[in-house]
Amino acid sequence: MKSLISLVVFVAVAIIAWWSTSGYFGEAELPLTQSKRYVEIFMNEFEMTAMNESGTPAYRLNGTHLERYNDSEDTIIELPVIHLLEEGKQWLVTAESALLNDKKNTIRLKDNVVMQQQNVEPAVTIKTQSMTLHTKTQIARTTAHVDITQGNSQLTSTGMIYNNKTSELELTSSVSGYYLPNE
């Protein structure tokens, strides 16, 4: 009788083991839902360099925190610092936060955006609350209020478009201020 019970238990365990490895057992499990939102990638204290078509650095981006969710094309960046590295037209751009979109080649900067010209005296400083930077064309634009200073000169505008490749600045509306030549 003991050997019959042992044989039945052995056969039952063998059938359960075969059933679980053959895939029949796996069909009863709940499938993973695609609608669950989760962090796909994150980094703290990061730095990355993006190259242009010729293989030279176009811009360098660093920040305190970066994260992207599985259901979004935007990467969220806290305290971004962007160094535009165009030859002879270098700028340092900072903000409280940014949304990086690789498919659209844009960085949308938000809150206390400061764009400061580098390696030029007196440097141009542009301050606004929001700005979109197109990384391929290096065109910065905003519809928000803009304060622009260079030395003792100061301009304000509602909206602007700046092309870093051609150094053209277009102030779109409500422009006021004063220009004092550099001595």
Q: How does DSSP assign 42-55, residue by residue? A: EEEEEEEEEE-TTS
Q: C-alpha distances in angstroms, 65 versus 8, 44, 60, 98?
A: 59, 4, 15, 11
Same domain, 64 and 25: no
Burial of residue 12 (CB within 10 Å: 0-12, 13-18, 19+) is exposed
**DSSP reduced 3-state for 19:** helix
| Of 18 and 91, the one with more pLDDT | 91
Q: Distance (Å, rounded) from C-alpha 148 to C-alpha 115?
A: 9
Same domain, 157 and 139: yes
Looking at residue 176, what is its pLDDT? 92
117 within some domain: yes
* pLDDT greater than 90 at residue 33: no
Q: How confident is the model at residue 23 (pLDDT cuts 50, 70, 90)?
A: low
120 within some domain: yes
Same domain, 63 and 149: yes
Q: Distance (Å, rounded) from C-alpha 52 to C-alpha 43?
A: 23
Q: What is the reported pTM?
A: 0.76
Residue pLDDT, tens place only, 44-62: 999 999 888 888 898 999 9
Same domain, 85 and 103: yes
Asked if residues 88 and 166 have their Cβ atoms less than 8 Å apart, the reply is no
Same domain, 123 and 73: yes
* DSSP, res 122: S
CATH of the domain at 138: 2.60.450.10
* DSSP, res 28: G
What is the span of the domain harbouring residue 17?
1-30
Residue pLDDT, tens place only, 87-132: 888 999 999 999 999 899 999 999 999 999 998 889 999 999 999 9
Same domain, 24 and 49: no
Number of domain units in the chain: 2
Q: How many helices (H) and strands (E) does the chain have?
A: 1, 12
Helix (H) or strand (E) holding 13: helix 2-21
25 within some domain: yes
183 within some domain: no
User: What's the whole-number mean pLDDT along residues 66-93?
Assistant: 92
